[in-house]
């Protein structure tokens, strides 16, 4: 898919900031911006049936991706999908139980289980995702860029081994420490799958991509580098760097990853996502000459009054300081109980307060 089949981009503020180029104000989007906090999303989700039915329905996935752009002055849309599409395509039987999150009917636990896995062929097994990317890009009509994404190999592996969500990742860590060769084999298959998946999204129309390493922060200092970061670095090196004359920036986001920012910046990624436990001024001092920074407001602040939200926005903008290279975002996904008007207060504050930090 060529960019010339899409409308020209009218707002490239987000892409410019990712490459630390000058912008007129700090660009913004929000992780999980198309989600359960929006009544219009809940209505579309009910119409779709199950969550995965919504992901697989091109028209409805496009509809929910665009819903937050009708409410807020966002600078990017993000593909509506799930991080577990790759293991689902590997035949592990993904399903969702109300209130319990994702589960797999066939967890990956033995050496034989791992040996049976093959690198995902996105064109064959996940075409519903690339179809959605192209449909969303067309529907956006150049308003803002579209972000594609994937889970990191380590994060995907935890769900596959545990059979769902986990508090302590006991099975995954047992494999990591007792059978590292099995873990490396699993992560290798997943890394190659993510490369194929993200490159397919880029070819279909994604203009930036983010790797969500949701559970990297659960690892020890050395284990993170060996079992999470090394595979994300491999993915960054394997991605399409430019599509139709424009660079395709890559964002790495490790929740709880503040201690590894320098090593993350060394992967070749263009930007690092920060959670709210890392001070953005310190992060900029450490790596801001090398990468852009995205974040990093605590999502829970959106439960506070609009005046308090505005104060927090002002504090984060001041902490980052003058110049480009900052994309305003939450430090993790917006939570279902947030009042949409409170998210609006955050975005309004960014629009009003951020131009003073740019020439």
The active-site residue out of 159, 197, 224, 231 is: 159
36 known member of a binding site: yes
42 known member of a binding site: no
Round to whole Å and give the CA distance between 306 and 134: 36
The active-site residue out of 13, 20, 25, 32 is: 32
Neighbours of 43 (CB within 10 A): 12
Our answer to whether residue 82 is catalytic in this structure is yes
332 known member of a binding site: yes
3 known member of a binding site: no
The active-site residue out of 20, 45, 56, 310 is: 45
Burial zone of 78 (CB within 10 Å; 0-12 exposed, 13-18 middle, 19+ buried): buried
Q: In the numeric block, which tokens belong to residue 345?
A: 């207060």
CB 261 within 8 A of CB 283: yes
The active-site residue out of 36, 42, 179, 225 is: 36
34 known member of a binding site: yes
The alpha carbon dihedral of 320, 324, 328, 329 has a sign of negative
List the beta bridge partners of residue 295: 328
Residue with token string 């807020």: 72
Our answer to whether residue 56 is catalytic in this structure is no
What are the Cα distances from residue 32, in Å, to 52, 80, 293, 330, 333?
16, 9, 18, 10, 5
End-to-end CA distance of the chain: 36
Round to whole Å and give the CA distance between 33 and 21: 25
82 known member of a binding site: yes
Neighbours of 58 (CB within 10 A): 18
CB 78 within 8 A of CB 34: yes
CB 331 within 8 A of CB 294: no
Our answer to whether residue 20 is catalytic in this structure is no
Round to whole Å and give the CA distance between 77 and 29: 7
Our answer to whether residue 45 is catalytic in this structure is yes
The active-site residue out of 42, 71, 82, 171 is: 82
33 known member of a binding site: yes
| Cα–chain center distance at 304 | 25
Our answer to whether residue 32 is catalytic in this structure is yes
Binding residues for substrate, by number, are 32-36, 82, 159, 214, 332
Which residues participate in catalysis according to the annotation? 32, 36, 45, 82, 159
């Amino acid at each position: 898919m060529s960019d010339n089949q899409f409308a020209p981009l009218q707002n490239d503020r987000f892409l410019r900031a990712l490459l630390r180029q000058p912008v007129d104000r700090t660009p913004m989007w929000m992780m999980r911006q198309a989600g359960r906090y929006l009544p219009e999303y809940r209505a579309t989700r009910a119409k779709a049936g199950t969550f995965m039915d919504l992901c697989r329905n091109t028209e409805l996935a496009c509809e929910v991706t665009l819903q937050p752009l009708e409410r807020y002055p966002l600078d990017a849309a993000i593909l509506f999908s799930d991080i577990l599409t790759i293991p689902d395509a590997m035949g592990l039987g993904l399903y969702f139980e109300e209130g319990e999150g994702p589960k797999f009917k066939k967890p990956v636990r033995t050496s034989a289980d791992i040996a049976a896995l093959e690198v995902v062929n996105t064109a064959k097994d996940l075409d519903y995702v690339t179809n959605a990317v192209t449909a969303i890009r067309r529907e956006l009509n150049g308003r803002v860029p579209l972000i594609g994404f994937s889970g990191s190999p380590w994060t995907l592996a935890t769900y596959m081994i545990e059979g769902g969500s986990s508090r302590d990742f006991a099975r995954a860590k047992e494999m990591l420490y007792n059978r590292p060769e099995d873990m490396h084999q699993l992560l290798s298959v997943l890394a190659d799958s993510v490369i194929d998946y993200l490159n397919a999204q880029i070819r279909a129309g994604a203009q930036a991509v983010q790797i969500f390493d949701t559970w990297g922060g659960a690892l020890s200092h050395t284990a993170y580098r060996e079992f999470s970061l090394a595979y994300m670095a491999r993915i960054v090196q394997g991605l399409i760097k430019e599509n139709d004359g424009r660079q395709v920036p890559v964002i790495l986001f490790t929740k709880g990853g503040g201690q590894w920012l320098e090593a993350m910046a060394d992967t070749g990624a263009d930007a690092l996502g920060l959670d709210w436990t890392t001070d953005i001024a310190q992060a900029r001092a450490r790596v801001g000459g090398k990468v852009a920074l995205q974040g990093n407001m605590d999502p829970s602040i959106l439960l506070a009054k609009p005046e308090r939200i505005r104060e927090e926005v002002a504090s984060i903008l001041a902490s980052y300081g003058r110049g480009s290279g900052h994309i305003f975002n939450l430090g993790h996904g917006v939570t279902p109980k947030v009042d949409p008007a409170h998210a609006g207060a955050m975005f309004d504050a960014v629009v009003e307060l951020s131009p003073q930090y740019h020439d």
